[in-house]
Structure 1
Amino acid sequence: MRAFVFLIALFAAGPLHALSCLATDIATSFQRFAAAPERYVVVHGTFHFDEGALPKPPQHNPNLTTPNTPIPARFLGKSLSMDGFQNRFATDLVLNVKCLGPWCAAMTSGRDTIAFLRAEDGVYSLSINPCGGVAFADPTPAMIAQVTACMRGQDCDGKQALR
Structure 2
Amino acid sequence: MRALFLAIVMAVPTTASALSCRPYNAIAAFNDAADSDDAYVVAHGTLRFDESKLPKVDWDHQEDVKPDNFLTGRIDGQALTRAGFTAQFVRDININVMCAGPWCSGLSNGADYLVYLKKVGDGYLLEVNPCGGFAFQDPDDDILSKVTACIQGKRCDPELPFR
Residue pair 2:67, 2:100 contacting (<8 A) in 1 also: no
2:37 match = 37
Q: Deviations over 1:93-130 (max 9, x none)?
A: 11111111221111011101000001122211111111
Q: Distance in 1 between matches of 2:123 and 2:101?
A: 29
Q: Which moved more, 1:34-43 or 1:59-68?
A: 59-68
Structure whose alpha-carbon radius of gyration is higher: 1
Query: C-alpha displacement at 1:17, in angstroms?
Result: 0.8
Residue pair 1:47, 1:74 contacting (<8 A) in 2 also: yes
Where in structure 2 are the equivalents of 1:55-134 lying within 5 Å?
55-62=55-62, 66-134=66-134
TM-score normalised by length of structure 2: 0.84
Question: How much is the aligned-residue C-alpha RMSD, in angstroms?
Answer: 1.9
Structure 1 counterpart of 2:76, which letter?
A: L
Indicate the percent of aligned positions where both proteins have the same amino acid: 36
Q: Distance in 2 between matches of 1:128 and 1:27?
A: 16
Given the alignment of the two structures, is residue 20 of structure 1 paired with residue 20 of structure 2, yes or no? Answer: yes
Q: Which moved more, 1:125-134 or 1:40-49?
A: 125-134
Residue pair 2:147, 2:156 contacting (<8 A) in 1 also: yes
Query: C-alpha displacement at 1:31, in angstroms?
Result: 0.4
Residue pair 2:28, 2:158 contacting (<8 A) in 1 also: yes
Q: Distance in 2 between matches of 1:64 and 1:100?
A: 11
Q: Distance in 1 between matches of 2:144 and 2:130?
A: 22
1:148 match = 148
Query: C-alpha displacement at 1:74, in angstroms?
Result: 1.1
Q: Which moved more, 1:73-82 or 1:49-58?
A: 49-58
Structure 2: 5+ residue stretches without partners: 1-13
Structure 2 counterpart of 1:126, which letter?
A: L
Change (3 A) 1:15 1:67: closer
Residue pair 1:63, 1:100 contacting (<8 A) in 2 also: no
Normalized per residue, which structure has more helix? 1
1:11 match = none
- Match of 1:98, SS? strand
Q: Distance in 2 between matches of 1:98 and 1:159?
A: 25
Q: Distance in 2 between matches of 1:65 and 1:56?
A: 8
Count of aligned positions:
149
TM-score normalised by length of structure 1: 0.84
Structure 1: 5+ residue stretches without partners: 1-13
1:7 match = none
